[in-house]
Each structure stands twice: as structure tokens, then as C-alpha cells.
Amino acid sequence: MIGIYFSGTGNSTYVLDVFLQQYNDDSVIFSIEDEKLIEQLNNHDEFIFSYPVQYSTVPKILRDFINKNSNMWNGKKVFIIATMGLFSGDGAGVLGRLLKHHGAIITGGLHLKMPDSIADEKVLKRSLKKNKKIVENANKKIKKAIIEIKKGKYPKEGLGILYRIAGFFGQRLWFGYKTRNYSKQLKVDKDKCVGCSKCVKICPMKNIQMKDGKANANEKCTMCYRCINQCPKQAITLLGKKVIEQTSVEKYLK
């Protein structure tokens, strides 16, 4: 089995790694940003995806990756892990439907609550202790799921009509319209930016360039929050006006 992930702050990478280490030591994991992944898609029939839900939808970069490689999914078996800060309704389902559209067979879905990656909204920030507990609980949930999967019982979280209704009415109906232009709204505070170029190097969308010694954002952000969480000067924001707390899964593993 090949693990495939997209991740902004490491949650989705971490849970996939934990899952596969317990499920099968031989498994390897690839980021969708890794060019070597395409070869793996050709040579394998079974995959596990891990990704962060964004308002109960799939981040644009992952959606584009799946559509761009649309001929790769026919007949492939796919299990989906959706990570989330609180609630997604049909996180696994929304990616499952896209893959199914391209011929994949969805074997199951698992929803894992993890620390929230949105760094610039106070209401979403939790204490270090609480986030550590959240990660601990995710680990327990993975362990339980694997015991069931090994008995042939795949969890089906996020799959099916009731989850879909929850995802639509709980999230997409309200946020779909509101957030449609957010890919253009990443802001860099030029007074805080010291021109270190870190954000340029880590952005998976090549959405940031340096101009006159300062970072400058374009209009194709996939809202992964990677740069916002890693900028050493907390100069980047998207949804909120200032960075409240920078997140990275490593902080919650110690």
C-alpha cells in the first residue's frame, strides 16, 4: 500500500505515518509535491490518502492533482483519512466522490481531529496541553481503526448521504461562497517581513515571490497555512488580521 498526502502543518503527514507504521511496515508515503509519486501511481493498486479538510472541501492543490492524473485512478482501491480541527461532515466523502468519479473504489474513511492549522483566528487556538491530548486521541483512534481493518471491517466515516448532508449544511453552504476568493487574499505585512525567503521556498503553489527584498503574494494560494505558520516574523495572514499562534504537529509530540 502506498500512502499519499498533502499537508500544510504536518498533521496529515503525521497521522498517515502513524497509520502505516502500525498497519504495514513496508508501506511508503509520498507527498503530492514529490515528483516520484507518479511512478508509484502506475505501479500500485492500493492507496491511502491523508489530507486536511478546508470547510469540508478538498484543498485546490489536491483536487487539481487528482484531476490532472485522472487516468491513474480507475480500479484502484483507496482508503481516505481526513484530518480536521473540529468538524467536517463528509471530509473523507468529498475526496472519495472525486476519486470515485475517476473510477477508484473507496474502501473506507477515517476522520481524525487534530490541532487547528489556522494560525490567525483566536477562537480556533487551543492550549498546548489540549492539543497534545487531541493528538493522543487521534493515535488511539488510529490504533482502533487498524484492529478493525485487519478483521476486514473498514471504518466508513464521512462516506454516505447523511455525512454528505452534514458537510453541505454544516459547512459548504455557508463557507463555499464566502471563501471563494480567499486564494487571492494572502497578505504580507511589509513592515514585519525581513526578506528571509522562507515562505517562497516552502509554498507548494509557488504563490510567493520576492520583490524589492520583501515577500509578495500572488493569487493562487491553496490556503494550506504553511507559510503563515512558519514565517519567523509572523508577517503573513489570510483569514485573520494577525497571527495568534503558529502551529506545527511537532510541537504536540514532545
Ligand X SMILES: Cc1cc2nc3c(=O)[nH]c(=O)nc-3n(C[C@H](O)[C@H](O)[C@H](O)COP(=O)(O)O)c2cc1C
Query: If binding is defined by CB under 6 A, does position 131 make contact with ligand X?
Result: no
84 binds, among ligand X, ligand SF4, none (CB under 5 to 8 A by kind): ligand X
Which residues from 141-200 bind ligand X, rule CB under 6 A? 171
Q: Kind of pairing, strands 187-188 and 105-113?
A: unpaired
- The SS3 call for residue 202 is helix
Pick from 135, 231, 243, 249 the residue near ligand SF4 by CB under 6 A.
231
For position 123 contacting ligand X by CB under 6 A, the verdict is no
Other CB atoms closer than 10 Å to residue 8's CB: what's the count?
28
| Selection from 215, 246, 172 nearest residue 8 by Cα | 246
Asked whether position 107 contacts ligand X by CB under 6 A, the answer is: no
Among 62, 80, 146, 227, binds ligand SF4 (CB under 6 A): 227
Residue that the C-alpha cell 498533521 belongs to: 11
- How far, in Å, CA of 222 to CA of 208, rounded? 12
Does 114 bind ligand X (CB under 6 A)? Our answer is yes
The residue type at 138 = A
Q: How far is CA 104 from the centre of its chain?
A: 20
**197 scored as a contact of ligand SF4 (CB under 6 A):** yes
Q: For residues 15 and 106, which CB has a smaller minimum distance to ligand X in the complex? A: 15
Of 2 and 66, nearer to ligand SF4 (C-beta) is 66
**Number of other residues whose CB lies within 10 A of the CB of residue 105:** 15
Distance of CA 99 to the CA centre of its chain: 16
Between CA 30 and CA 38, with CA 35 as vertex, the angle to 5 degrees is 75
Q: Which of 27, 40, 41, 55 binds ligand X (CB under 6 A)?
A: 55
Q: Is 137 in the site for ligand SF4 (CB under 6 A)?
A: no
Q: Is 48 in the site for ligand SF4 (CB under 6 A)?
A: no
2 contact, one of ligand X, ligand SF4, none, CB 5-8 Å limit per kind = none
Q: Which residues bind ligand SF4 (CB under 6 A)?
A: 186, 188, 193-199, 202-205, 207-208, 215, 217, 221-228, 231-233, 235-236
